[in-house]
Amino acid sequence: MQRKNQTLGEFIIENQKDFPYASGELSRLINSIRLAAKMVNHEVNKAGLVDITGAVGETNIQGEDQQKLDVLANETFINTLTNREIVCGIASEENDEFITIKGQKNDHRNSYVVLMDPLDGSSNIDVNVSVGTIFSIYRRVTPAGTPVTLEDFLQPGNLQVAAGYIIYGTSTMLVYTTGNGVNGFTLNPALGTYYLSHPNMKFPEDGHIYSVNEGNYIHFPQGIKDYIKYCQEEKEDRPYTSRYIGSLVSDIHRNMIKGGVYLYPSTSKSPNGKLRLLYECNPMAFITEQAGGKASDGYRRILDIKPTNLHERTPFVCGSKNMVEKVESFME
């Protein structure tokens, strides 16, 4: 059941029974994410005020400069998720290795693993542009009572039990799915409460927006170059509009509302593109499919890829169904 103006807390309780393992654990997990998101939101919002922006000087495993807020968001989510009897392991874009959580009784009994990009698009912070958090949740595959292993994290996206993102934009929203459609909640900062503002979100089947870093055009595969030219052609409803924030969460959020396609293709420099399968593409693909859209690497469904390493990357095409299919037809 959904009512507009329902709070996220009410929504979680009322929809708990729709979840296949109705133990209440997943609800508590989503609850802790909503709490961590409030804390990160608070930090992101005051980023312009305090001397907190700029690179820490460390480099993460991807070879990128780490921003202070990346570190802070990472710690906030890890701490919030650790202090509950739910999560047995966390993998984060900011950590080289996964983290094992023993649980309060040290018995490794917890059932869920969380994979996350605690702050995506963080280079946008310095210039006051939207950033996001992306999370992906699985049930462990190894037996409860034993420490988590890499196998628990390297599951194909089609086994996700929940996924979502938080967008720290003009308003802060939490959008998530547990496999029964996608719902969006907007934070009322005065009350610290999220309200159901976007029930049952759906990608329009078609759209007029394409989102890609065209600066890399020269390095794109021929199929992507041809698709971009197709978007720019003067025909029927074309040329399309180009919109690229450079913040995956914001670009996909906009396209889900207005209709569009996001592309981060392979380039001659990075044959697997830039985005990480486990922290960025799988959760966004799950949400996209739950909203009636499609997500592909240009040839195959993102959610069917069997990961082989925690930080692996994949080309990513995601958005309105007909637009993604069009891209795939150009890639053939």
Q: Which residues bind ligand AHG (CB under 6 A)?
A: 64, 117, 120-122, 213, 246-248, 251, 274
Report what 289 binds from ligand AHG, Mn ion, none; CB cut-off 5-8 Å by kind. Answer: none
Q: Say if CB 181 and CB 300 are below 8 A apart.
A: no
Provide the minimum distance between the beta carbon of 283 and ligand AHG in the complex, in angstroms, as a whole number. Answer: 13
CB of 247 to ligand AHG, least distance (A): 5
User: Does the annotation list 120 as a binding residue?
Assistant: yes
Cα(37)–Cα(133) distance, integer angstroms: 8
* Structure tokens belonging to residue 244: 């690229």
Closer to Mn ion by CB, 119 or 281: give it.
Answer: 119
260-264 and 209-211 strand pairing:
parallel
296 labelled ligand-binding: no
Q: Which amino acid is present at 44?
A: V
Q: Please, are residues 212 and 228 in contact by the beta-carbon 8 Å criterion?
A: yes
Cα–Cα dist 257/317, whole Å: 17
Read off the tokens for 107: 């018995």
206 assigned ligand-binding residue: no
Residue 119 vs 295, nearer CB to Mn ion: 119
CA distance 97 to 81: 17
240 labeled part of a ligand binding site: no
The Cα 103–Cα 84 span in angstroms is 7
Judged by beta carbon, residue 64 or residue 85, the one nearer ligand AHG is 64
Smaller CB distance to ligand AHG: residue 64 or 206?
A: 64
HSE-CB at 189 with a 13 A cutoff on CA atoms is 13
Q: Given the complex with Mn ion, which of 204 and 315 has the nearer CB atom? A: 315
- Residue 280 CB, nearest distance to Mn ion (Å)? 5
163 binds, among Mn ion, ligand AHG, none (CB under 5 to 8 A by kind): none
Residues that bind Mn ion (CB under 5 A): 93, 117, 119-120
Instruction: Tell me whether residue 96 is annotated as binding.
Output: no
Q: Is 165 annotated as a binding residue?
A: no
93 annotated ligand-binding residue? yes
Residue 281's closest CA among 203, 139, 165? 165
Q: With CB cut-offs between 5 and 8 Å by kind, which of ligand AHG, Mn ion, none does residue 64 bind?
A: ligand AHG
Neighbours of 86 (CB within 10 A): 23
DSSP state of 243: -
Q: Which residues are annotated as a binding site for Mg(2+)?
A: 93, 117, 119-120, 280
Annotated binding site: 93, 117, 119-123, 213, 244, 262-264, 274, 280
